[in-house]
Structure 1
Amino acid sequence: MTQTVLIAGAHGQVGQHVTAILGESDHEGRAMVRDDDQVEEMESQGADKTVVADLTEDVSHAVEGCDAIVFAAGSGGDDVYGVDRDGAINLIETAEEAGVDRFVMLSSMGADDPESGPDSLEDYLTAKAEADEYLRRSGLEYTIVRPGELTNESGVGTIEVGDDIGLDAGDIPREDVARTLVIALEHDALVGETFEILSGDEPIEEALETIAAN
């Protein structure tokens, strides 16, 4: 079924891959960016439509008419509680008010236990954990994807998936994370699931089917 999908954080590194992948699909990808000067760039990367909105402000105009949301936004460490937590919560609440059903969250490995990670990441992981928990308690049909360390290598289309892989177990290309988010979006059996991913040997579709079957 064709869906109108809002990509929050479309101009970010994962978000650009999500935009391109959706641009090659039957779905309508609506790229959400913060600045007007990013609009043309996103449309050149495959966005069917681009909307300017700030996660820390009113985003109702961005969400209107959407069937699903992929949250790929991130503060880059500048304002983790304002963007990674409160910005996500703002979008979740707006999605509920607008009647959006599906929400796929890009989280992070280690969000289950922020204090166990590096001190430099504790605030970030705490913000992610609190956003994830808010999503779980919402009325949205959610999936939470938690990758390990991200790299800019080309994606290979294969991953390892689990629920307790370990924060230092490896890394994964951003392109493979983006493809996982898009495939999860289309997988009804993944509603209500939270899982971790790293580079691995199993094709993404097959790996996610394993999660869905459990």
Structure 2
Amino acid sequence: MKVLVIGGNGRVGSLLVNKLASQHQVLSGSRNPKAENNFDNIEQVYIDLLSDVDTIAESMNGVDAIYFVSGSRGKNLLQIDLHGAIKSMQASEKAGVKRYIMLSSVFALQPERWNESFLSNLTDYNIAKHYADLYLTTQTKLNYTILQPGALKEEAGTGKIETNVTNPGSNSIANVVDTLVSILQNNSTIGKVILMHDGNTPIAEALDQIK
């Protein structure tokens, strides 16, 4: 399988690319591809989310699945986190790529939760993620999965999570990456919005429990 990771040079993306490369041919998409990082199963490709849909779609030829894990870290929420994400969805459909996995944010589709203390300083970010997620779920025909973790931490992964989230805890980046990898392997996740935080259930089992 050939997999494109949009945002392949980021905190999550770089780990995700390396994990996926043990099983798949991986395209690591970013505005700053580094040719010296090309390996047998990893190819660095140029993708600019500020460009038009047709240009983005050209980078998707022959791709079987797409991950969107890009983000502006609050610097360009409208053009990258919102409109850039939507253009990548439109480009996926134009290129005929059906499988699309989005990394989002906890409760992005539940604005009634945004005034809670752990989200109260992230309103603009959550608005961007909300409308990107909403577009994916209602305006596309993609075989999507949306993963919505809470705060990301630079901690060792445990391989165990929880998806029955009411009061979100923290997430090791490694666990988020392993969950993203497992989502691609599990077709029952198609059409699902999955909340997560670190927990006590093995990742594959936690995904199987989602209704």
Aligned to 1:189: 188
Q: 2:68 aligns with which of 68, 71, 75?
A: 71
> Does 2:76 align with 1:50?
no
The reply on whether 1:62 has 2:59 as its aligned counterpart is yes
**3-state DSSP of counterpart to 2:205:** helix
AA of the residue aligned to 1:52: Y
Query: SS of 1:143's equivalent?
Result: strand
| Whole-angstrom CA distance in 2 between matches of 1:47 and 1:92 | 24
CA contact (8 A) 1:19 1:47 kept: no
Structure 2: segments with no counterpart, 5+ residues? none
Instruction: Tell me how far 1:186 sits from its aligned partner.
Output: 1.8
Partner of 1:148: 150
SS at match of 2:67: strand
Shift of 1:76: 0.6
Question: Residue in 1 aligned with 2:6?
Answer: 8
Query: d(CA) in 1 for partners of 2:115 and 2:16?
Result: 30
Shift of 1:188: 0.9
CA distance in 1, matches of 2:158, 2:36: 28
Where do 4+ consecutive residues of structure 1 move more than 3 Å? none
- Structure 2 residue 62 is the aligned partner of structure 1 residue 85: no
CA contact (8 A) 1:20 1:47 kept: no
- The aligned residue for residue 128 of structure 2 is 127
Match of 1:39 in 2: 35
Q: Are the counterparts in 2 of residues 33 and 39 from structure 1 also a CA contact under 8 Å?
A: no
TM superposition shift of 1:113: 3.1
CA distance in 2, matches of 1:205, 1:183: 7
Identity %: 35
User: For residues 152 and 122 of structure 1, do their structure 2 counterparts lie closer, same or farther at Cα, with a shift above 3 Å needed?
Assistant: same
TM-score normalised per structure 2? 0.91
Query: Which runs of 5 or more structure 1 residues have no equivalent in the other structure?
Result: none
**1:15 Cα shift?**
0.4
Whole-angstrom CA distance in 2 between matches of 1:122 and 1:185: 30
Letter in 2 for 1:186: Q
Secondary structure of 1:129's match? helix
Structure 1 SS opposite 2:59: helix
Distance 2:181 2:136 in 1: 18
Structure 1, residues 8-63: CA drift from partner, whole Å, max 9, x if none?
100000001110111111x1111101114x3323x36x752111111121312211
Q: Distance in 2 between matches of 1:191 and 1:200?
A: 22
Q: Is the 8 Å Cα contact of residues 165 and 196 (structure 1) preserved in structure 2?
A: no
Give the whole-Å Cα distance in 2 for the aligned partners of 1:119 and 1:172.
Answer: 19
- The root-mean-square deviation of aligned C-alpha atoms, in Å, is 1.5
Give, in angstroms, the shift of residue 183 of structure 1: 0.9
Alignment TM-score, normalising by the size of structure 1: 0.90
Alignment of 1:147-186 (within 5 A): 147-162=149-164, 164-166=165-167, 169-186=168-185
Give distance in 2, aligned partners of 1:73 and 1:80.
Answer: 11
Q: How many residues align?
A: 203
Other structure's SS at 1:18 match: helix
Letter in 2 for 1:24: S
Distance in 1 (CA, whole Å) between partners of 2:198 and 2:170 is 6
Separation (CA, whole Å) in 1 of partners of 2:136 and 2:172: 25
Structure 2 Cα separation of the partners of residues 8 and 116 of structure 1: 30
